[in-house]
Amino acid sequence: MDSTNNAVKIAIVGTGMIGPRHAQAVLGNPEAKLTCIVDPLPAAQAVADGLGVPRLRSVQELLESEHKPDAAYVCTPNRTHVGISKELLSGGVNVLVEKPISPDIQSGQDLVSHASRQKLSLLVGHHRRFNSYIRSAKQLLDQSRLGQIIAISGLWGLHKPLSYFDEPTTWRRSSKYGGPILINLIHEVDMLHYLIGPIVRVHAEETIKQRGFDAEEGVALVLKFENGVVGTFVLSDAVSSPWSYEQGTGDNPLFPATRQGFLRILGSAGSLSLGDMETWTYGGAEQNWSNDIVKEKVNVKEEIAFELQVEHLIRVLRGQERPICSGEDGLRAVIVCEAVKKSMATKLPVDIATMYEDATEDSKL
């Protein structure tokens, strides 16, 4: 951007579950201007009216209109992320695309390359990197307060109602575009990448299916990280439980907050439970299992992740910061999710480097 005095113009493409939340965050920032909503569905008009902005019916209409923005949020179904993002970038608009950046590795690589050729910013909406709980945990880890990290153990368990899979979102029944691996686990993967480091190997087992749809309903994972940390993670969208990121942090107002621990990080000098935000350390001069174990609360400064994400986007467009979650970061999460699906199918461990190399070779054919 040429001037820090002018408001950054932002459009929202898609008015499903997440688009209006982004729109409210944009409206709340005095350095941003929400130019319009883009959505072909007639029901989107009520959303636009509620936000006090025009509704346009297509990206082409947006690019040809007086409402053309500096950046756009792409909040459409997963299968459309790449095509819509490329259309915006080709029209000179920077993009923040909701996760997943793409439904597969090759199209994700294509999008990242396209943004680079256009010399425009491509960010991915893994908003957890801006969540107060995650930021507090990241600071604690960066300060080595837990010593050497040895292992992690995570849970994500919620129960989606059958209406979640009805029109106009029946695509959520598809194993290619829907299912909790691409919709939910991808958030967990990016969170672990941000906190712990790159995942290099996965072994996955699918959970019992109850709905009868093509999409999976959950998975149990064994993970290996580049830095030697190992871990487990269990995910299901068909269970009744208080253990999930959304419930543990209170991040999403759709789900009642439980403040229960959903991720445990085990270190040589202490351990952390995210959600309840408790650290556990041995008292005494040495780490000894016979010493008393001491619990302490981590102070968390409560801030709204979507609002911090808007602030960050503005600074990126003004050349003041590099993306906290770039297109490359978003693609890494997709690669891991592809590896999870492959491991589920083969019943074997999958190396992430092999997944990336295979996709690169396929793209040359």
Q: Strands 218-225, 230-236: parallel, antiparallel or unpaired by DSSP?
A: antiparallel
- Each residue's pLDDT tens digit, 166-211: 998 899 999 888 899 999 999 999 999 999 999 999 999 999 999 9
Average pLDDT over residues 96-112: 95
Nearest residue to 85 via CA among 36, 47, 118, 45: 118
DSSP percent split of the chain into helix, strand, coil, nearest 5:
40, 20, 40
Domain of 265 in residue numbering reads as 129-303
Residues 158 and 280 reside in one and the same domain: yes
Residue with token string 């050729």: 117
Residue 4 has pLDDT above 90, yes or no: no
Inter-CA distances, 289 with 264, 279, 293, 365, Å: 18, 16, 8, 57
Alpha helices in the chain (DSSP H): 19-27, 44-51, 59-63, 81-90, 105-118, 132-142, 179-180, 186-195, 245-249, 305-317, 327-346, 352-363
The answer to the question of residue 342 being in a domain is: no
Is the domain of 247 the same as that of 108?
Answer: no
Q: Which pLDDT value is given to residue 362?
A: 52
Average pLDDT of span 15-33: 95
Contact 134, 324 (CB under 8 A): no
Residues 75 and 158 in one domain: no
Residue 92 has pLDDT above 70, yes or no: yes
Same domain, 133 and 122: no
Q: Is residue 258 part of a domain?
A: yes
Domain identity same for 143 and 215: yes
Look up the CATH number of the domain holding residue 175.
Answer: 3.30.360.10
Q: Report pLDDT digits (tens) over 59-91.
A: 999 999 999 999 999 999 989 999 999 999 999
Q: Based on the fold, state whether residues 299 and 269 are members of the same structural domain.
A: yes
Determine, yes or no, domain membership for 341. no
Residue 81 placed within a domain: yes
Angle separating helix axes 19-27 and 305-317, nearest 10 degrees: 70
1: confidence class by pLDDT, cuts 50, 70, 90: very low
Do 197 and 269 fall into the same domain?
yes
pLDDT at 123 over 50: yes
60 found inside a domain: yes
| pLDDT at residue 252, rounded to an integer | 85
pLDDT at 9 over 90: yes
Phi-psi region of 243 (alpha: psi -120 to 50; beta: other; left: phi over 0): beta
Same domain? 97 vs 191: no
Mean pLDDT over residues 292-312, rounded?
Answer: 95
In a domain, 347, yes or no: no
Phi then psi dihedrals of residue 102, to 5 deg: -160, 160
Whether residue 204 is found in the same domain as residue 244: yes
Mean model confidence pLDDT for the chain: 94
Q: How many domains is the chain built from?
A: 2
Residue 362 lies in a domain: no
For residues 168 and 178, is the Cβ–Cβ distance under 8 A?
Answer: no
Both 218 and 136 in one domain: the answer is yes
Q: What is the pLDDT of residue 46?
A: 96
What's the rounded Cα separation, in Å, for the pair 124 and 131? 15
CATH code assigned at 33: 3.40.50.720
Same domain membership, residue 214 and residue 145: yes
> Do residues 134 and 253 share a domain?
yes
339 part of a folded domain? no
25-28: list long-range contacts, CB under 8 Å, 24+ apart.
25/304, 25/306, 25/307, 25/309, 25/310, 26/73, 26/310, 27/51, 28/307, 28/310
DSSP string, 274-317: ETTTEEEEE-SSS--TTSPEEEEEPP-----HHHHHHHHHHHHH
Alpha-carbon span 156 to 161, nearest angstrom: 16
